[in-house]
């Protein structure tokens, strides 16, 4: 039994989500290999080789693997899939783009967004916006799995000494090409990796008012997040959305300001270690999951909170 973990990276840095996926692979058991498919990604392979518990790193390096086009990365995975019992991706935008292609071509059922490994063929995954847990047993010979990264503490980035094998890169599929990337500039920690998240909801009232959260986030070293209502109203950018159809976060501290606590929002943050909520409505459902709740008008409470910190 050997598991192949598909590395998440930007050709320079191995992303922490890979460490969470390796942690899930450890729970499955057997040897663990990491595939780095990229361009000029030798440094990433070197970082992957240091990850604790990894036996081997496969590096496929080619121009057409540079931008993680799903069609090409999927072909690269398929080229080595024969050697593996389990193929594991982080359930990130990129992992969720490649995994279904691999599963379809292998003619197996993808096992999505697992939160626990019960045995090498049995996994747990949340359903109904996190209100129930499905226990899924797969009889497929190969298991193609995506891992909810917030459910597995990442393994150590250092301590391993895996060998690095260079693979022959697959040919460019020609099915898609990279056109461009618009990256929002953000000096704050990445939302899904941040240890503290400060999120605002519709209660913030406007994009201008949303700025009120910045000094608080600055003091806490936090990422900024938002409810879908706040995003839909244009108060906050799309990629700040936390929830069922946004990002799943589980920071040490989640501060929800002017957010009611709809189940679709809770689905994205209820595994946070400590939840603080500020809402003027004492009946708001967010107080049902909050460790600390403050019934107050956010426009006075947030500056006071920031000052007190």
Q: How far apart are CA 139 and CA 270, in angstroms?
A: 32
Choose between 197 and 230: whose C-beta lies nearer to ligand FAD: 230
Q: How far is the CB of 203 from ligand FAD (least distance, A)?
A: 3
Residue nearest to ligand FAD (CB): 243
Choose between 77 and 204: whose C-beta lies nearer to ligand FAD: 204
Query: What six digits make up the tokens of 299?
Result: 């426009």
CA 305 to chain CA centroid, Å, is 29
Q: Is 9 annotated as contributing to ligand binding? A: no
Query: What six digits make up the tokens of 215?
Result: 């000094």
The interface with ligand FAD within residues 238-257 (CB under 6 A) comprises 241-246
Q: How far apart are CA 115 and CA 134, in angstroms?
A: 10
Q: How far is the CB of 307 from ligand FAD (least distance, A)?
A: 17
Q: How far is the CB of 239 from ligand FAD (least distance, A)?
A: 12
Choose between 130 and 246: whose C-beta lies nearer to ligand FAD: 246
Q: How far apart are CA 68 and CA 236, in angstroms?
A: 27
The structure tokens 């618009």 sit at 182
The structure tokens 């949303």 sit at 210
Q: Is 137 annotated as contributing to ligand binding? A: no
Using the Cα atoms of residue 185, residue 191, residue 193 and residue 198 in order, give the sign of their dihedral.
positive
DSSP letter, residue 7: P
By CB under 6 A, tell whether 229 contacts ligand FAD.
yes
The structure tokens 């045995």 sit at 119
Query: Could you tell me if 114 and 24 are in contact, meaning their C-beta atoms sit under 8 angstroms apart?
Result: yes
Using the Cα atoms of residue 101, residue 107, residue 113 and residue 115 in order, give the sign of their dihedral.
negative
CB count within 10 Å of CB 80 equals 17
Q: Is 243 annotated as contributing to ligand binding? A: yes
- Write the Ramachandran bin of 262: left for phi over 0, alpha for psi from -120 to 50, otherwise beta: beta
133 three-class SS:
strand
Q: How far is the CB of 205 from ligand FAD (least distance, A)?
A: 7
Choose between 42 and 209: whose C-beta lies nearer to ligand FAD: 209
Q: How far apart are CA 51 and CA 70, in angstroms?
A: 24
Q: How many residues bind ligand FAD (CB under 6 A)?
A: 28
Choose between 63 and 304: whose C-beta lies nearer to ligand FAD: 304
The interface with ligand FAD within residues 160-219 (CB under 6 A) comprises 201-203
Q: Is 259 annotated as contributing to ligand binding? A: yes
Choose between 80 and 299: whose C-beta lies nearer to ligand FAD: 299
Q: Annotate each residue in 261-280 with x if it binds ligand FAD (CB under 6 A) or - if it does not, as one string.
A: -x-xx--x---------xxx
Q: Is 139 annotated as contributing to ligand binding? A: no
Choose between 23 and 230: whose C-beta lies nearer to ligand FAD: 230
Q: Is 245 annotated as contributing to ligand binding? A: yes
As annotated, the binding site for FAD includes: 202, 227-228, 241-245, 258-265, 279
List interacting residues with ligand FAD (CB under 6 A). 201-203, 227-230, 241-246, 258-260, 262, 264-265, 268, 278-281, 284, 297-299
């Amino acid at each position: 039994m050997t598991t192949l973990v598909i590395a998440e990276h930007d050709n320079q840095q191995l992303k922490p989500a890979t460490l969470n996926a390796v942690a899930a692979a450890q729970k499955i058991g057997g040897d663990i290999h990491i595939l780095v498919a990229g361009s000029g990604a030798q440094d990433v392979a070197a970082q992957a080789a240091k990850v604790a518990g990894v036996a081997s790193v496969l590096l496929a390096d080619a121009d057409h693997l540079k931008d993680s086009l799903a069609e090409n990365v999927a072909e690269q995975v398929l080229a080595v899939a024969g050697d593996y019992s389990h193929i594991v991706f982080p359930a990130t935008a990129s992992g969720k783009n490649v995994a279904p292609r691999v599963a379809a071509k292998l003619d197996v059922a993808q096992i999505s967004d697992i939160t626990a490994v019960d045995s090498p063929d049995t996994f747990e995954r949340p359903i109904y916006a996190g209100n129930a847990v499905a226990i899924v047993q797969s009889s497929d010979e190969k298991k193609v799995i995506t891992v909810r990264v917030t459910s597995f503490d990442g393994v150590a980035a250092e301590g391993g000494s895996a060998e690095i094998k260079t693979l022959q890169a697959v040919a460019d599929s020609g099915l898609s090409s990279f056109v461009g990337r618009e990256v929002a500039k953000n000096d704050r920690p990445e939302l899904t990796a941040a240890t503290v998240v400060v999120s605002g909801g519709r209660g913030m009232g406007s994009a201008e008012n949303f700025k009120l959260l910045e000094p608080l986030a600055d003091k806490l070293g936090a990422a900024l997040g938002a409810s879908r209502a706040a995003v839909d109203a244009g108060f906050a950018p799309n990629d700040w959305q936390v929830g069922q159809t946004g990002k799943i976060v589980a920071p040490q501290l989640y501060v929800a300001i002017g957010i009611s606590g709809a189940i679709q929002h809770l689905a994205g943050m209820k595994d946070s270690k400590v939840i603080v909520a500020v809402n003027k409505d004492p009946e708001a459902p967010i107080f049902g999951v909050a460790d600390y709740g403050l019934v107050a008008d956010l426009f006075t409470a947030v500056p006071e909170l920031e000052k007190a910190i």
